[in-house]
């Protein structure tokens, strides 16, 4: 099971093809997307907490997160000046510092996500750029938006979701979150072959995928709205795409990780 078993993926063959496909998704659909770049095309959409061996159910995950939040508050990591971070904001801060949480990092900027999709993974694998429909309001009742001032506990957030996908816009609590235009997906545990989040295919199929990226197709047939779609990027294109992102967009390890950890990592031995 995985991405290959579903009509989710557009296979790009050139650097130009990548940027054309992003343009198509951002200009020729009626959706608002959250974007995620994964350095390996084999990785699924799985928040870090579900990669922990001891976590087998959503109940396990919620209990783990409540314990994590208590430990962080006991260590006073929830304090930002005079502001005490509520649960989602604190989880976002912990996530960006390496903790395994129920949140999945995404961004509003497809080129930031493309950077992460093209980072080397150490396995010589191709990357994957994923776009998830997070259009809010009546146009997409399955997507619940949580703004930066959200004060619900993590357990009450999941009660509010009630099986739907959530999108959290974090406050500007770190330079890295700001630089990466970060957002976070969250949702009830599902057992989809490509995701543990409730992102569904609806009526998507191979014919619609072909029509979406076929520039010769009538405009009306291209104005489709996939709930989720991905671009599979061959390993051989990664270095060339990273060069374009750096030279044309100013995206590199220094600009996207503007903190001490990023500064040191960019100047490491490899």
List the one residue out of 48, 56, 38 whose CA is nearest residue 95.
48
- Give the residue, 112 or 6, on which the prediction is more confident: 112
pLDDT reported for residue 258: 86
Task: Compute the distance between CA of residue 5 and CA of residue 194 in angstroms, rounded to an integer.
Answer: 9
Positive or negative: CA dihedral 122, 93, 244, 108 = positive
pLDDT reported for residue 101: 97
Whether this prediction's pTM lies above 0.85 is answered by: yes
Confidence of residue 80 (pLDDT cuts 50, 70, 90): confident
Mean pLDDT, rounded, for 41-68: 93
Task: Compute the distance between CA of residue 163 and CA of residue 168 in angstroms, rounded to an integer.
Answer: 16
pLDDT reported for residue 13: 93
Report residue 170 as tokens. Answer: 């974090």
Is a pLDDT exceeding 80 seen at residue 267?
no
Is a pLDDT exceeding 70 seen at residue 154?
yes
Q: Would strands 228-233 and 9-11 be described as parallel, antiparallel, or unpaired?
A: parallel
Whole-angstrom CA distances from 228 to 146, 196, 201 are 20, 13, 7
Within the chain, how many helices (H) and strands (E) appear? 11, 10
pLDDT reported for residue 220: 53
Over residues 192-207, the pLDDT tens digits come to 888 999 887 666 777 7
Using the structure block, give the residue that is written with the tokens 């100013």.
250
Whole-angstrom CA distances from 236 to 1, 21, 23, 177, 230 are 25, 18, 21, 29, 18
Report residue 12 as tokens. Answer: 């790009």
Report residue 139 as tokens. Answer: 């146009």
- Give the residue, 150 or 268, on which the prediction is more confident: 150
| 146 touches 88 (CB < 8 A) | yes
List the one residue out of 169, 183, 171, 228 whose CA is nearest residue 29.
228
pLDDT reported for residue 39: 93
Is a pLDDT exceeding 60 seen at residue 30?
yes
Is a pLDDT exceeding 80 seen at residue 140?
no
pLDDT reported for residue 99: 94
């Amino acid at each position: 099971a995985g991405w290959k078993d579903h009509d989710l993926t557009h296979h790009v063959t050139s650097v130009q093809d990548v940027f054309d496909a992003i343009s198509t998704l951002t200009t020729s659909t009626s959706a608002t997307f959250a974007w995620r770049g994964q350095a390996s095309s084999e990785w699924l959409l799985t928040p870090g907490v579900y990669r922990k061996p001891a976590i087998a159910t959503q109940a396990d995950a919620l209990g783990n997160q409540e314990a994590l939040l208590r430990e962080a508050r006991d260590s006073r990591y929830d304090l930002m000046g005079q502001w005490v971070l509520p649960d989602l904001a604190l989880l976002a801060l912990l996530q960006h510092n390496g903790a395994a949480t129920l949140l999945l990092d995404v961004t509003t900027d497809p080129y930031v996500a493309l950077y992460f999709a093209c980072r080397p993974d150490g396995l010589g694998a191709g990357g994957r750029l994923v776009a998830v429909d997070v259009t809010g309001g009546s146009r997409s009742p399955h997507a619940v938006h949580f703004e930066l001032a959200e004060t619900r506990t993590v357990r009450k957030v999941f009660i509010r979701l009630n099986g739907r996908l959530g999108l959290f816009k974090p406050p500007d609590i770190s330079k890295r979150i700001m630089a990466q235009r970060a957002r976070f997906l969250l949702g009830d545990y599902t057992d989809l072959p490509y995701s543990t989040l409730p992102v569904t295919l609806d009526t998507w199929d191979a014919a619609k995928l072909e029509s979406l990226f076929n520039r010769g197709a009538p405009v009306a047939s291209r104005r489709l709205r996939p709930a989720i779609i991905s671009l599979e990027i061959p390993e051989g294109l990664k270095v060339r795409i990273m060069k374009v992102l750096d030279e044309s967009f100013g995206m590199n390890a220094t600009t996207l990780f503007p903190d001490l950890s990023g500064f040191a990592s960019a100047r490491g031995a490899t």
